[in-house]
Structure 1
């Protein structure tokens, strides 16, 4: 069956996910009967289409390891060294941890990651190409279009990081990237060059920022604000080693967001009410993802078979690099045996297990999912400043974050690579479990090294991967290759 992005109706793809956000609209019009004229007949309906994209970020797809961006966050950390599996559990994410799934063109993971981000792009394209013709306030249309453009840029960015080789500043980045989908079309597209993909990503984000700046403000944190778009722009610049742009946009992005308190940091990373969260999905009771949820795999306390048998741990080497005076260290248990350290009824205890993520309770996997926080912007700005040789400014930025986590932290006097290493250490601690590690290793051309810690080789299989190895590229899914004669596979 020809199941791929280009062969599904992009209109229906965009609108089939409206059921969570436009109930009054769908009560009178079945989703399989929606046409373009109806979808873009009123500004309210266009908001519904945009809200459909927001809902797609954490809805259930085909399998329990396919629940929007939360599942991709788990995949990215499973491919790193900082998250540790303690057992095979009930099987979920095992092949990703072993570096097998993303290197199989027939795996459900490669298909899902490809389909998920291109679904968002297809949805965004429908809005981008139609919202200008809708009758309604210009400020609303700009806000809608800006968010759609930001989604399109962000989704292409996620795809090119996975399926393309890393971007290298100062070189001609003519390695194969991913198909660029900027039009409403069902025609298969060839893979654009990495430099072409990044050019389009930046074009989309720049236009998104202009529209969002001129549009009405967002109502919910699940919506993309101008600050979030600038945060994505900072991430892209970091991946491109465009240090000045990364520093500028990270600084602008975090403006108006406070760093969280110790109490907030230790409260379970499950609420969009946290003042540090810039972007995230808010999950309400009627949108419960049950055993598909991010918290069904990553929380300490939800009573799923996966968590009971395979609670997730931190890399022991990383744990022991955290200062005892740093309250973040309380998110993990060195022995795992403390009676007050939460586990679900009947759950197993292992060393270095986490309680960073807490579900609503052992019987409910509900929890909000963080996609962007202000602390990340401090770390981006610090890394960029250090790369520019502005070591004093970089140390000041790192201190501004670290002193909030550890009252005994002393401002770094390091320079050069030693300072960059300290910033990256803080990044690993701060963003543990939030889906950054694989992408960070790849963009910095670093080695995967799971040796000397608590990874079990019998579970992980792969303990080391050299920088630049072909294994850093996801394989194009077989369904895409079968349906698109214009596309080429990555090295097998």
Structure 2
């Protein structure tokens, strides 16, 4: 993995090295400072804490959770799309599902993810040695660092690996848990089973080290449980996924309709983990609201007409869609993700309770606990559609209803790509999509649901060659 040395020659906080103030639990007050040498990072708790904030800041990188990952995770699907015109060519090859190993959409998330993993590996190795930190402080730093590593590894595995449920012995990502320097030996791809075992181990350790916090801009015990619920869902470990999801949403109130209409730009009653910004620390035009909101930014995301038709006219979530002649008369604008006063300024709500209810519902249905599954599904449906009747379906019909509800509730939040792949669903685009597809897992084109390993990694890594590339590339 020699190419990684380009981004890890020294342990610097390359975006900003940020200090946290402990006086405000509800908002990140971040003060930028100069880079600090590796030798000094772990000389004090204050500096190590700032290094951890720097790791969080990297999540908001446009190449990762700040833009690329959530956008790509929905346009590789059938419900939302990039506008065909006036889009400055953003994400077009991704929407067309025609990426190559040297494309920026393939390279950028890989390197952004591994840069963050490298930095948190430094924290995991050194935090227990900080001389002036208490045991609780050391545990918190390690727990959050482990959860961040697991979060990033799960995202990378979902992007660059086939489905766990299809073949957990298949090659996955590089399992980097040590601090690899430029002269260290390269490592090859690990199996999906090995990667998910590491993710599980990190999150179980994080849960044991963390407590719940008021500030959802940081990973706490509840967020680590939610991440583990996602992990077990991919693994189809239905019982453990259900249990973690229930623990993750326990005590939280689902957001109201008015909160839903507020633009998903600030944390709310059901927020479990949010990637926090300040007005000075956002991606401006390279941000989720810039691409979604009809004015102020790129404003290039559209909803497929067949997807809009899935919403009952009494479902309040139908209010997220708008046809406006003076903006785009042909397709539906999406009003789900708004700006907060300034272009691009909005928190990226990465995990919320509604997702956990839907994980519970899917798992209960798969376990044959249909009444419990119907009730969890109803909790989501009746919030936006008070007159809805509770489902009476069972077996595959109930599972399909729950998967449909995931599409309706979570669209634009970065789930559809992985949901299609992990469930090995057929993939069909129609209606007003300007690029259509229709194929099943048995068809050759299904490989498109997995990104290739970046050519830059293959070129630099002696343990990987073209024979190790993903199918189809």
TM-score (normalised: structure 2):
0.91
Relative to 1, partners in 2 of residues 1:92 and 1:143: Cα closer, same or farther, differing over 3 Å? same
Contact 2:428-2:437 within 8 A present in 1 as well: yes
Deviation at 1:226, TM superposition (A): 0.5
Please, which of 209, 221, 224 is the counterpart of residue 226 of structure 1?
221
Q: Per the alignment, do residues 238 and 354 of structure 1 end up closer, same or farther by CA in structure 2, a change over 3 Å counting? A: same
1:278 aligns with 2:244: no
Q: Which residue of 1 aligns with 2:380?
A: 401
SS, match of residue 174 in structure 2: coil
CA distance 1:24–1:106, shift in 2 (3 Å): closer
Task: Please report how far the alpha carbon of residue 472 of structure 1 lies from its aligned counterpart in structure 2 after TM superposition.
Answer: 2.1
How far did residue 281 of structure 1 move?
1.8
Q: Distance in 2 between matches of 1:48 and 1:354?
A: 37
Match of 1:59 in 2: 61
Question: Aligned Cα RMSD in Å?
Answer: 2.1
Distance 1:480 1:52 in 2: 25
Residue 332 of structure 1: aligned partner: 321
Taking the aligned partners of 1:68 and 1:4, their CA distance within structure 2 comes to 22
Counterpart among 237, 243, 259 of residue 242 in structure 1: 237
Q: Give the total of aligned pairs.
A: 453
Aligned partner (choices 259, 284, 287) of residue 293 of structure 1: 287
1:120 is paired with a residue of what secondary structure? helix
Pair 301,434 (structure 1): closer, same or farther in 2 beyond 3 Å: same
After TM superposition, give the deviation of residue 316 of structure 1 in Å: 1.8
Q: Which is further off, 3-12 or 113-122?
A: 3-12
How far apart, in 2, do the equivalents of 1:221 and 1:283 lie?
Answer: 12
- Report the CA distance shift for 1:183/1:265 in structure 2 as closer, same or farther (over 3 A): same
Distance 1:442 1:180 in 2: 21
Give SS of 2:324's match: coil
- Find 1:153's aligned residue among 150, 154, 163: 150
| 1:349 shift after superposition | 4.1
> How has the CA–CA distance of structure 1 residues 51 and 415 changed in structure 2, closer, same or farther, with 3 Å as cutoff?
same
**In the alignment, which residue of structure 1 is the partner of 2:40?**
38
Within 5 A, what are the aligned runs for 1:71-470? Answer: 71-88=68-85, 89-101=87-99, 104-135=100-131, 136-168=133-165, 173-186=168-181, 187=184, 188-213=186-211, 217-218=212-213, 220-272=215-267, 274-302=268-296, 304=297, 306-307=298-299, 310=300, 312-333=301-322, 335-337=323-325, 347-361=327-341, 364-451=343-430, 453-456=431-434, 460=435, 462-467=436-441, 469-470=446-447
The 3 A distance-change label for structure 1 pair 349 and 143 is farther
Q: Give structure 2 stretches of 5+ with no counterpart.
A: 21-28
Secondary structure (helix, strand or coil) at the match of 2:392 reads: coil
Q: CA deviation at 1:67?
A: 5.9
Instruction: Tell me the alpha carbon deviations over residues 23-68 of structure 1, each in whole angstroms, 9 at most, x when there is no partner.
Output: 99964xx42xx332201111111111110111111135xxxxx364
**1:205–1:229 CA contact under 8 A, matched in 2:** yes
Q: Distance in 1 between matches of 2:102 and 2:151?
A: 25
Aligned mates of 2:128, 2:228 — CA distance in 1: 24
Could you list the per-position Cα deviations for residues 341-374 of structure 1 after superposition, in whole angstroms to 9, with x for gaps in the alignment?
xxxxx7444432111111135x622111110010
Provide the secondary structure at the position in 1 that maps to 2:218.
coil
> Deviation of residue 293 (structure 1)?
1.7
Comparing 137-146 with 376-385, greater Cα deviation is found at: 137-146
Do 1:313 and 1:352's aligned partners in 2 also have CA atoms closer than 8 Å? yes
Q: Secondary structure at the match of 1:130?
A: helix
Going from structure 1 to structure 2, the CA distance change for 1:313 and 1:76 (only over 3 Å counts) comes to same
Structure 1 equivalent of residue 25 of structure 2 = none
Instruction: Report how far residue 203 of structure 1 moved.
Output: 0.8
- Equivalent position SS for 2:156: helix
C-alpha distance in structure 2 between counterparts of 1:293 and 1:321, whole Å:
27
The 1:193–1:24 alpha-carbon spacing in structure 2 relative to 1, beyond 3 Å, is closer
Q: Which residue of 1 aligns with 2:23?
A: none
CA pair 297-67 structure 1, distance change in 2 beyond 3 A: farther
Aligned partner of residue 349 in structure 2, secondary structure: strand
Instruction: Summarize the Cα distance change of 1:105–1:275 in structure 2 as closer, same or farther, 3 Å threshold.
Output: same
The answer (yes or no) to whether the contact 1:25–1:45 under 8 Å persists in 2 is: no
Distance (whole Å) between structure 1 residues aligned to residue 461 and residue 422 of structure 2 = 28
Mark the runs of 5 or more structure 1 residues left unpaired by the alignment. Answer: 61-65, 338-345
Aligned partners of 1:128 and 1:149 also within 8 Å: yes
Aligned equivalents of 1:406, 1:149: Cα separation in 2? 39
- Number of the residue aligned with 1:63: none
